[in-house]
Amino acid sequence: MTIDKAVLGCAGCMAFSCVALLFACAGLTALSALGVCCATRTPPLDMYDLMIDVSVFPQQWELGIGPVPPPEHIGSERGEMYFLSVIFCPEGSQHCSDGAQHAVFRYINEPAAARAFDSDFAERDFSNRYMVTPWTVPDEWTYESPVADRFKFACGEIEPFASVPRMRICTAVAQYEEYISEFTAKMAHMTLEDLERILIAIDDRMAFYLKEDTQ
């Protein structure tokens, strides 16, 4: 926080006012960092509305599992959190081993979601564990979410077990106010163009319901 020199030069009765203002600003900053100064959306959006469906996938894909579980409180060190997840599979895929997953997480407010995005998701979703190649943004990839507050996308090759062939995987994580969307796809049956259309559909859905809620 930058304080004008003229303010710092206040004397006499003005000195107390300046000090009080500094403490007030520091208090508001601390409350914001703790995520307690910002209002919680009441009532929250229906999380089922935020989930994509199989219509945005390439042909020969189908719903595998979900959405599950019911949006229950699961707790988090960085804020109250609820989530839904849905899995899509290419037709004929055994155990959906080369499918895709979309998950939406709801936090108590926007600062809590921002902290989770910068720590939980950035560390977990883009961990180098099991990676054969590092996470990178493909040269041909240009899409950046125009509506998300934060957005991260990368791909890499993974080999979780010696008995499982290495495969290319791409992950996109985006924060929209107090919500975080996470989409991960194994790319054996999907192109980057397919993936971009899916991420645009997620953006459109999030933008529609967040805007509708403020009208």
- Same-domain status, 124 and 154: yes
Higher pLDDT, 133 or 7: 133
Is there a single domain that holds both residue 10 and residue 99?
Answer: no
User: Do 13 and 76 reside in the same domain of the chain?
Assistant: no
Residues 180 and 209 in one domain: yes
Residues 152 and 172 sit within 8 Å (Cβ to Cβ) = yes
Asked, for residue 183, whether it belongs to a domain, the answer is yes
**Are 30 and 74 in a shared domain?**
no
Element containing residue 115 per DSSP (H, E): helix 110-116
E strand intervals along the chain: 61-68, 81-90, 100-107, 150-158, 167-176, 179-186
Residue of 49 and 122 predicted with greater confidence: 49
CA distance linking residue 113 with residue 210, whole number of Å: 15
Mind giving me the DSSP string for 66-81?
EEES-S-B---TTS-E
- 153 with 192, same domain? yes
Strands 100-107 and 61-68: unpaired
Q: pTM value?
A: 0.77
Number of domains in the chain: 2
Per-residue pLDDT band for 166 (boundaries 50, 70, 90) equals confident
68-117: pLDDT as tens digits: 876 666 666 556 688 899 999 999 887 788 899 999 999 999 999 999 99
pLDDT tens string 4-33: 444 334 434 333 333 332 333 344 344 444
Question: Range of 28's domain?
Answer: 5-34
| Residue 189 lies inside a defined structural domain of this protein | yes
- pLDDT-derived band at 67 (thresholds 50, 70, 90) equals confident
